[in-house]
Amino acid sequence: MSSHLAKNCTSYPYLLSSTRRYSSNGFWTKPLNFIAGERVRPTNDNRSQDFSVVEPATGKILCESPSSGKADVDRAVKAAQEAFQIWSQVPAIERARIMQKTARKLADNLEDFARLEVTNNGKPIWEARCDIQSAIDAIDFYAGLAPSMTGQHIPCPGGSFAYTRREPLGVCVGIGAWNYPIQMAGWKSAPALACGNTMVFKPSQFTPATALLLAEVYADCGLPKGAFNVVQGEGETGHFLTSHPGVKKVSFTGSVATGKLIMKSCADDIKSLTLELGGKSPLLIFSDADLDNAAKGAVMANFLTQGEVCSNATRIFVERSIKDEFVKRFIERTKKMKIGDPHLEDTTFGALISKAHQDKVMGYIEGAKKEGATILYGGERVTPDDPALADGFYILPTIMDNVTDDMVISREEVFGPVATIMTFDTEEEAVTRANNTQLGLACGLFTKDVQRAHRVAAQLEAGNCWINNYNNLPPGVPFGGYKQSGLGRENGTATIDHYTQLKTVYVEAGDVDCPV
Ligand code: NAD
């Protein structure tokens, strides 16, 4: 997902300012957990294996880290519980100041953070800059809201009244996927902290880096020790967190399968839960659409971050009469994508996260071909010219035709750079086929007919719908899924409901009316 920024990201005067303190030099040789205000090595009390962190662009191992065990998780939750006693009592205006200071410091170090994200994730540098900006925007946005979060006054008969108090939940756990590491850490920590909660965050084991830097910046900007902690590890570490009795809320981003496990794990304590899960989103292109914008929208809906985007609209339904012209323009644009070293300014398409994921995506492409789909563009692994990138995980952006609704490629989330083209004849048919999935994260449509745009948006079963664009997510706009794509929302004021609990206080103005 992109923030609202354009490729050159230059609309913010402070964006590329030069005060840099958080150099990533030596980053990988230091411990990767951050608990109670300091970097600490996981004790790995019940694990024998390290996990490897790999640079996707080169295939090089960046570090081996022990997974955090139960003792590490206990320690982080305890630190967050202690910090909650302090942070929940800090006046909201002061919480806002600390968060705003954090946002400024992140902006001052944006370039270093973006470089680290590229090394760890493989996405192009221009996108990484936008992701850091997106985290900054979220922190600024919730800092701005913090002082104005209030309850309600509700008049009752006889002069009595009730009022509501919006209270924090306590220790929240954030668990992230690997595709938007810093953005997820920002999107989860910002509302949690603004509402007076504390957090233990576990990034994906593939991308442990930038959440840790965020923790250091929060701490340097005055956040009490233990208010934002980072523990590293794989699924088992995540399970220790979600099943921990000291945790009051879990906000998870990842696959549907893991989301179901987490929901079960939270059931024992009835923990509050936000789930941001997978998608299989549709994009509808009607015959009256501006075809250049539709082609650009299809690129934005499929090939950001090498196609590893939950909201991507990989099922492109095109009205039959304009299919050939749309496909021509979509391929022309896709061919312009420059694949290669994600650190270079002109690279627009980087490396997939891992060899295993590259194999999985290629498996979907080969499987679709066996089912009768054909390749219009891409469909193969590629090795950039630079010999240093020979062992990186690259696949050409891929466009497939002759795809039907029942093929595996149309039903399962590929989470890679594979767009499929299907045609439709009527609006009703397009909507029915678009909704024919258990997932409902996002959708999009291109048309110049304003009535149809809103009619179709209302009928599509998804939490987010873009009309005449795709994958824009400014911080004030709520994001989340319908159906099995999730529960709750991130971003926007809606998220305040998911990080607070409402207490109703009833005040009697007269005598107690009692039958005896
Ligand atoms: P994943 O489910 O494999 O892992 C996500 C996180 O969960 C990782 O940090 C992992 O270590 C942890 N985890 C794994 N098992 C766990 C368990 N039993 N208990 C607790 N934590 C556990 O997903 P992934 O491969 O990292 O990410 C890809 C998926 O994420 C895709 O399906 C994508 O659509 C989804 N995603 C959704 C959104 C959204 O906002 N809806 C955004 C990005 C990615």
Residue nearest (by alpha carbon) to ligand 1 atom 22:
235
Q: What is the distance in A from the centroid of ligand 1 to the CA of 201?
A: 13
Q: What is the C-alpha separation between 226 and 77, in angstroms, rounded? A: 9
Ligand 1 atom index nearest CA of 279: 34
Probe residue for ligand 1, chosen from 249, 260, 310, 364 as the CB with the greatest number of ligand atoms within 8 Å: 310
Ligand 1 atom index nearest CA of 276: 41
Probe residue for ligand 1, chosen from 73, 183, 240, 253 as the CB with the greatest number of ligand atoms within 8 Å: 253
pTM of the shown model: 0.95
Q: What is the distance in A from the centroid of ligand 1 to the CA of 369?
A: 28
Is the Cβ–Cβ distance between 199 and 227 less than 8 Å?
yes
Q: What is the C-alpha separation between 409 and 420, in angstroms, rounded? A: 8
Q: Which residues are catalytic?
A: 276
Q: What is the C-alpha separation between 486 and 287, in angstroms, rounded? A: 32
Ligand 1 atom index nearest CA of 242: 20
Is the Cβ–Cβ distance between 398 and 334 less than 8 Å?
no
Domains of the chain: 27-277+497-501 (3.40.605.10), 282-480 (3.40.309.10)
Q: What is the distance in A from the centroid of ligand 1 to the CA of 232?
A: 14
Going from the C-alpha of 211 to that of each of 16, 112, 159, 173, 369, the distances in angstroms are: 20, 13, 51, 13, 39
* Closest-CA residue to 240 (of 487, 42, 50, 500): 42
pLDDT tens, position by position, for the chain (516 residues)? 554 444 544 333 333 333 435 556 678 888 899 999 999 998 876 555 678 999 999 999 999 888 999 999 999 999 999 999 999 999 999 999 999 999 999 999 999 999 999 999 999 999 999 999 999 999 999 999 999 999 999 999 999 999 999 999 999 999 999 999 999 999 999 999 999 999 999 999 999 999 999 999 999 999 999 999 999 999 999 999 999 999 999 999 999 999 999 999 999 999 999 999 999 999 999 999 999 999 999 999 999 999 999 999 999 999 999 999 999 999 999 999 999 999 999 999 999 999 999 999 999 999 999 999 999 999 999 999 999 999 999 999 999 999 999 999 999 999 999 999 999 999 999 999 999 999 999 999 999 999 999 999 999 999 999 999 999 999 999 999 999 999 999 999 999 999 999 999 999 999 999 999
Q: Which residues pair with 316 in a beta bridge?
A: 283, 421
Is the Cβ–Cβ distance between 504 and 460 less than 8 Å?
no
The pocket around ligand 1, CB under 6 angstroms, is made up of 175-180, 202, 204-205, 234-235, 238-239, 242, 253-255, 258, 261-262, 276-279, 310, 413, 415, 441, 481, 486
Reported residue count of the chain is 516
The shares of helix, strand and coil residues in the chain, as percent rounded to the nearest 5, are 40, 20, 40
Residue nearest (by alpha carbon) to ligand 1 atom 35:
254
